[in-house]
Amino acid sequence: MVNSLNWFEIPAKDFKRATTFYAKVLSAQILVDPNPNMQYAYFPSDPQKGGFGGAIAGGENFVPAMTGTTVYLDGGNDLSVPLGKVESAGGKVILPKTAIGDNRGFIALFIDTEGNKVGFHSMG
Q: What is the pLDDT of residue 6?
A: 82
Mean of pLDDT over the chain: 93
- pLDDT of 2 strictly over 70: no
CATH number of 7-122: 3.10.180.10
The pLDDT of residue 108 is 98
User: pLDDT tens digits for 13-43?
Assistant: 999 999 999 999 999 999 999 988 889 999 9
Whether pTM > 0.85 for this model: the answer is: yes
> In Å, how far are 11, 15, 36, 45, 97 from 54, measured between CA atoms?
11, 15, 19, 8, 23
DSSP per residue, 44-90? P--GGGT--EEEEEESTT----SSS--EEEE-TT-THHHHHHHTTTT
**Model confidence band, residue 52 (pLDDT cutoffs 50, 70, 90):** confident
